[in-house]
């Protein structure tokens, strides 16, 4: 699948990078905010205030009491200041975390919107599409609409114009399927065979072999169909079509 539209300099990619950067910055802010003031520091000051209060009430002389009183006032002010800093820090942390979550959600949504969708079709949700991709999409749209004539014409044209396309195996498969639905089983057999022979490692190979067997059965060629089903079991034993091919062979054997 073409990756030209996600090269460096693409505005969509730049926006996604900006969103990830915003998320990282927000998380860094949260981490910094939590490190500025710690509960342990706050509790330490509270204990010092308590100790001074006890000293002031223990019967010490007037000078000592005055000194302790001054220290007590200073520490109480420190405690009050520190508590205020903690409250501000907590609000900043919550705000930073919310900003981080929002930035991550936006970045994730941007990445998802750029992913291809659809069965074997290059359904890019964004970016400028090449003529090759547009041609494939138009042909696939005709297949989805059940327009066999348009499907055959457009996929045949696509394969003629883009014989080396990475979508060529899918295009050949859908072309064969259009012939099958049209009732042209001989053409379907040939096209399904093209898929299995030319793209044996593709995602449509096992299915194409099985469909070839179905087309041969429609033509009354039971032995040839059996060979196709056997090849499914032999070459693609773990495929989803293997159990169906086994059933077809059992039916042929009992027929």
Query: pTM of the entire structure?
Result: 0.51
Secondary structure of the chain as H, E, C letters:
CCCHHHCCCCHHHHHHHHHHHHHHHHHHHHHHHHHHCCHHHHHHHHHHHHHHHHHHCCCCCHHHHHHHHHHHHHHHHHHHHHHHHHHHHHHHHHHHHHHHHHHHHHHHHHHHHCCCECCCCCECCCCCCCHHHHHHHHHHHHHHCCCHHHHHHHHHHHHHHCCCCCCHHHHHHHHHHHHHHHCCHHHHHHHHHHHHHHCCCCCCHHHHHHHHHHHHHHCCCHHHHHHHHHHHHHHCCCCCCHHHHHHHHHHHHHC
CA distances from 146 to 150, 175, 255 (A): 9, 12, 33
Pull the structure tokens for residue 47: 């204990």
239 contacts 206 by C-beta, under 8 angstroms: yes
Q: Which pLDDT value is given to residue 253?
A: 84
Dist CA 195 CA 173 (whole Å): 6
CATH of 131-254 among 3.90.1580.10, 1.10.540.10, 3.50.50.60, 1.25.40.10: 1.25.40.10
Task: Check residue 120 and give left, alpha or beta (phi > 0: left; psi -120 to 50: alpha).
Answer: left
Q: Which pLDDT value is given to residue 234?
A: 96
- Domain locations in the chain as residue ranges: 4-113, 131-254
Half-sphere exposure of 238 (CA within 13 A, CB side): 1
Please list the ranges in the chain whose pLDDT falls under 50: 1-18, 20, 22-24, 26-27, 29-37, 111-119, 121-122, 124-127
């Amino acid at each position: 699948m073409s990756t030209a539209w996600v090269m460096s300099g693409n505005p969509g990619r730049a926006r996604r990078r900006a969103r990830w950067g915003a998320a990282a910055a927000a998380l860094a802010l949260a981490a910094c905010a939590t490190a500025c003031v710690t509960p342990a520091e706050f509790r330490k000051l509270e204990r010092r205030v308590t100790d001074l209060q006890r000293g002031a009430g223990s019967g010490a002389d007037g000078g000592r009491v005055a000194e302790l009183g001054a220290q007590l006032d200073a520490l109480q002010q420190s405690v009050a200041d520190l508590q205020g800093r903690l409250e501000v820090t907590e609000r900043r942390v919550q705000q930073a975390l919310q900003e981080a979550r929002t930035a991550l959600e936006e970045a994730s949504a941007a990445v998802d919107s750029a992913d291809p969708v659809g069965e074997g079709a290059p359904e890019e949700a964004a970016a400028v599409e090449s003529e090759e991709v547009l041609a494939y999409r138009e042909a696939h749209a005709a297949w989805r609409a059940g327009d066999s004539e348009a499907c055959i014409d457009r996929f045949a044209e696509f394969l003629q114009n883009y014989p080396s396309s990475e979508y060529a195996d899918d295009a050949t498969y859908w072309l064969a399927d259009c012939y099958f639905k049209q009732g042209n089983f001989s053409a379907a057999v040939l096209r399904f065979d093209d898929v299995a022979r030319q793209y044996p490692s593709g995602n449509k190979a096992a299915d194409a072999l099985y469909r070839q067997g179905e087309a041969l059965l429609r033509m009354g060629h039971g032995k040839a169909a059996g060979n196709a089903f056997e090849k499914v079991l032999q070459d693609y034993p773990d495929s989803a079509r293997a159990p169906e091919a086994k059933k077809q062979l059992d039916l042929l054997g009992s027929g």
